[in-house]
Structure 1
């Protein structure tokens, strides 16, 4: 059996994350799918945020922004580390 015949197995963290029903399916499609899928995901995220602002008013606009603060901190730390 040649080296090329061995199947590639993803790490356990990827397999567990991809097993989540909706989020995992979208993440797998973003990582292994077409390169344009990231734009569809961004449009979906912005649409959900806008619809929450329409349904809940200003708290629907502010609360997701406040909840994204730790994500932005991590992104900034990753940028500064190079």
Structure 2
């Protein structure tokens, strides 16, 4: 019996997500960090979206919103299934 409990191995999709340099760090902090890290992650995502609007103009606003549509469909399907 040891004093340290070793965590189990993460699933492959989490290891792949956490391996992405910038987004993986944000996802790891949101999943395994302190509760206030979730607010920092949300602020960072909105800041990146704002920077894309400043750099690319209206496509920087529209394209991330269009990419979120399949995610919202999935969320609505999961909610409707109970």
**CA gap 1:54/1:80 in 2 versus in 1, 3 angstroms:** same
Residue in 2 that maps onto 1:42: 42
Task: For residues 35-80 of structure 1, give each alpha carbon's deviation from its aligned partner in whole angstroms, at most 9, with x where no partner exists.
Answer: 1111111111111111111111111111111111111111111111
Q: 1:6 Cα shift?
A: 6.7
What is the root-mean-square deviation of aligned Cα atoms in Å?
Answer: 2.2
What TM-score, normalized to structure 1?
A: 0.77
Unaligned runs of 5+ in 2: none
Comparing 10-19 with 50-59, greater Cα deviation is found at 10-19
Q: 1:5 Cα shift?
A: 7.4
Residue in 2 that maps onto 1:63: 63
Residue in 1 that maps onto 2:26: 26
Unaligned runs of 5+ in 1: none
How many residues are matched? Answer: 81
